[in-house]
Amino acid sequence: MGNKRCTACHRVFHPCPQVPEQSFCSALECQRERRRRWQQKKRRDDPAYRDNDSRYGKDWSAKNPEYWKRYREDHPNYTDRNRRQQQSRNQKQRALGIAKVDASVPISSMPSGRYRLTLVAADGIANEDMWIAEIAVLSSTYDESGGDCKVRT
Ligand SMILES: [Zn+2]
């Protein structure tokens, strides 16, 4: 293993014994040149590297929707935690005995009594806040066709 000539500055140098294929000397400029060429080669030959690299480039925002998808794929714990939180909230919801009232069910089939009310957001997840409401069914024959709540509290 003799001396080599640096690819960048063409000076003769001793390659490290650990890196016999070294073709750049240890000068800062030459090492920078080595990295630059390596990146160029990677971009040309390795689509995965190119894709990853461009994430930090100009078109990062264009790839942004993909980012979160990948983030979730790369961080299964993140989605797991979200799912668990949702599950526990769903369980709490069930434990409170709050069921979705189907509008096609006649209101008369709903017994009078006290109900716990929870605000359910669009995603179907109940808010932590809760109210107790007393619901009295006024007449079992009144407007059974409608899903309208004829309820007085
Ligand atoms: Zn050099």
Query: How many angstroms is it from 30 CA to the middle of ligand 1?
Result: 5
Tally of CA atoms within 13 A in the half-sphere of 69 that contains its CB: 4
Query: How many angstroms is it from 104 CA to the middle of ligand 1?
Result: 81
pLDDT at position 18, please?
Answer: 84
pLDDT at position 99, please?
Answer: 47
pLDDT at position 79, please?
Answer: 62
Query: How many angstroms is it from 22 CA to the middle of ligand 1?
Result: 11
pTM for this entry: 0.33
Task: Quote the CA–CA distance of 49 and 36 in Å, as a whole number.
Answer: 14
Of 101, 93, 79, the closest CA to residue 128 belongs to 93
Query: How many angstroms is it from 38 CA to the middle of ligand 1?
Result: 15
Residue 91, H or E segment: helix 76-95
Using the structure block, give the residue that is written with the tokens 């063409």.
Answer: 10
**Both structure tokens of 103:** 């509008």
Query: How many angstroms is it from 42 CA to the middle of ligand 1?
Result: 21
**What is the block-wise mean pLDDT of the chain (153 residues), using blocks of 10 residues?**
88 86 92 93 84 60 64 70 67 52 55 77 73 71 50 52
Query: How many angstroms is it from 23 CA to the middle of ligand 1?
Result: 8
Q: What is the CA radius of gyration of the chain?
A: 34
CB of 141 within 8 A of CB of 98?
Answer: no
Query: How many angstroms is it from 41 CA to the middle of ligand 1?
Result: 19
pLDDT at position 33, please?
Answer: 96
Query: How many angstroms is it from 3 CA to the middle of ligand 1?
Result: 13
Query: How many angstroms is it from 18 CA to the middle of ligand 1?
Result: 18
